[in-house]
Structure 1
Amino acid sequence: MPLPASAVPPAPKENEPVEAVRESAETLALLARRRSTKVGHLSEPGPNGEQLTALLQLAGRVPDHGKLGPWRFVIIDGDARARAGAALARVIENDEGVDQSRKDGARGLFLRAPLCVMVVSATVESKKVPEWEQQLSAAAAAYNLLLGAHAMGYAGCWLTEWPAFDARARKALGLAEHERVAGFVYLGSTREPATERVRADVATRISRF
């Protein structure tokens, strides 16, 4: 049973002392066994309104050089899933080689899960903070959202797929020209338990300077 939104403590106020370092075996266990769920295995229910609000608050607690908040969240749920899919289908309907199957796939893209959060990298002009750092902050927000959902008891996965890399699709989904999709985070429950997959060998990617 997923945890209620009330299980998420309120965010501290500015300059309020915070317990930023605290031993948590549960957190370590979650990280050690964290696993995305295939989008095709997601089902109802997904986070409700209060739970999603709490998760998005957690998602925003990421490294953010300059306190710019160079990201935003777009919730695609309910009927909006079909509207967003229809917008994508219109984008590609006259493309060479696109058949009905491809159009249907675009229409159903967001219907694969109870809800999707589009995490948008919305960089701003800054003399002190490079664009790359801002993009990394958006990626961290996407992952924080996924981790928070797992900790609350929901399954999820972080995808990009073709709409993230198609300027026409980004415009159809409401992004400004300078904005990019950091990820589509699909959330819900799972039809079947996730199984472990092959992981990169961390030991071969460690060195000392």
Structure 2
Amino acid sequence: MPFNSPNPETYDLLMNRRSVKARDMVGPGPGEGEIKKILDAALRVPDHGKLSPWRYLVLEGSERDKLGDLIARALVEENESSPKVAEKMKGYATQGPVLVVAISSTNAESSIPVWEQELSAGAACQNMIIAATALGYASCWLTGWASYSPTVKGGLGLAPHENIAGFIFFGNQADEPSERPRPEFDSHVTWGFPS
């Protein structure tokens, strides 16, 4: 297929895509071949300077439990949370059948501003959830406390210059998701140069 071919169905997908709460997802999740397709889409984002300022960690099955244990330990160590609260948070990582940890891996030595590199990581996350929808899967892009935790970042092997751009869950939807309020077009769009 030629590059930039018109595809009205893609516009329809964008206008009808809806996140599914990770806790409401059911299996099966995408298999290895489908995850590769989703990640291939993540690798095709705008990337000023061709820096590839991102990487991905795919967690399935018991690998998600390891992340849950890490999050629980971090809560106790960093937030002095009670073991009971920490135990409950172990389930965060196992909400959906497949979890991709999207990692922003910026290069401060580059002439490309770090902010632009971070934007590329965000675009990669968006491409993943769009690709998942196109392949018939539910998705949910989450961050939250764990994405900023030094203990979690260290336990996942992140370097000092890396950050978690998102925990992206993939699975199937048990029920049709409901629409959420959307912003008013005219409140967020200005035509013409500001006076």
Superposition TM-score, scaled by structure 2 size: 0.93
What is the aligned residue count? 192
Match of 2:144 among 155, 161, 171: 161
Residue 93 of structure 1 deviates from its aligned partner by: 2.4
Task: Kindly indicate whether the alpha-carbon contact (under 8 Å) linking 1:88 and 1:172 is maintained by their aligned counterparts in 2.
Answer: no
Other structure's SS at 1:56 match: helix
RMSD, matched Cα: 1.5
Quick one: which amino acid aligns to residue 188 of structure 1? G
Match of 1:171 among 154, 158, 178: 154
Aligned to 1:20: 3
Aligned to 1:149: 132
Other structure's SS at 2:9 match: helix
Residues 1:82 and 2:65 aligned together: yes
Task: Kindly indicate whether the alpha-carbon contact (under 8 Å) linking 2:139 and 2:171 is maintained by their aligned counterparts in 1.
Answer: yes
Residues 1:129 and 2:112 aligned together: yes
Partner deviation per Cα, 1:38-78 (whole Å, 9 max, x = no partner):
11211101000111011101111000001000000001111
Task: Kindly indicate whether the alpha-carbon contact (under 8 Å) linking 1:46 and 1:187 is maintained by their aligned counterparts in 2.
Answer: yes
Quick one: which amino acid aligns to residue 62 of structure 1? V
Residue 88 of structure 1 deviates from its aligned partner by: 1.6
Q: Which runs of 5+ in 2 are unaligned?
A: none
Match of 2:174 among 176, 187, 191: 191
Task: Kindly indicate whether the alpha-carbon contact (under 8 Å) linking 2:19 and 2:177 is maintained by their aligned counterparts in 1.
Answer: yes
Other structure's SS at 1:180 match: strand
List aligned pairs for 1:4-83, cutoff 5 A. 19-83=2-66
Task: Kindly indicate whether the alpha-carbon contact (under 8 Å) linking 1:75 and 1:117 is maintained by their aligned counterparts in 2.
Answer: yes
Residues 1:182 and 2:165 aligned together: yes
Quick one: which amino acid aligns to residue 31 of structure 2? N
Q: Which runs of 5+ in 1 are unaligned?
A: 1-17
Quick one: which amino acid aligns to residue 90 of structure 2? R
Q: Distance in 2 between the 1:29 and 1:39 partners?
A: 23
Aligned to 1:139: 122
Residues 1:116 and 2:99 aligned together: yes
Superposition TM-score, scaled by structure 1 size: 0.87
Q: Distance in 2 between the 1:121 and 1:58 partners?
A: 16
Other structure's SS at 2:87 match: helix
Other structure's SS at 1:82 match: helix
C-alpha change, 1:163 and 1:127, in structure 2 (3 Å) is same
Q: Distance in 2 between the 1:30 and 1:24 partners?
A: 10
Q: Runs (4+) of structure 1 moved beyond 3 Å?
A: 94-97
Return 135-144 or 160-169, whichever deviates more. Answer: 160-169
Residue 94 of structure 1 deviates from its aligned partner by: 4.1
Task: Kindly indicate whether the alpha-carbon contact (under 8 Å) linking 2:25 and 2:138 is maintained by their aligned counterparts in 1.
Answer: yes
